[in-house]
Amino acid sequence: MNSDEELVSFWSKVIFELGFMGFSFSYLIHLNELNRSLRVNVNVSNIFEVVTYNGSQPARYSILALFVIMIAVILVIWYYNTAKSFRFHPFFLLLTIVTFIVNTLITVWVWNLISQPILRAVML
């Protein structure tokens, strides 16, 4: 790291990423529990039952899924631009690679969990 500004920038991105990962994994756990509950308690072919289950919880989780995916994409772009501007300093390059992998996995898991049975019911 060449300067205090670069060091602060690096650690701020690490803190954002760790916070996002913690939030995302908590969200994924709760989304998985909601899916299990839906499969047991609701006729998943009935759109209205699925969407309005437990005070419209599936609808709220669907909206939150979009935000999680958008934040994952924004973070990857942010880290990539930072790494590019610092001429691929090893720490920023490593952060960018790890962030890309982790956020891609988060996006895939969110999409997989939200699509079954919530989006599947809406699309039928």
CA 69 to chain centre: 5
pTM of the predicted model as reported, rounded to 2 decimal places: 0.82
| pLDDT exceeds 60 at position 88 | no
What does the alpha-carbon distance between residue 41 and residue 44 come to, in Å, rounded to a whole number? 9
**Non-local CB neighbours of 51 within 8 Å, separated by 6+ positions:** 58, 59, 118, 121, 122
> What are the tens digits of pLDDT across the range 41-63?
988 778 888 888 999 899 899 89
| pLDDT exceeds 90 at position 1 | no
Residue type, 27: Y
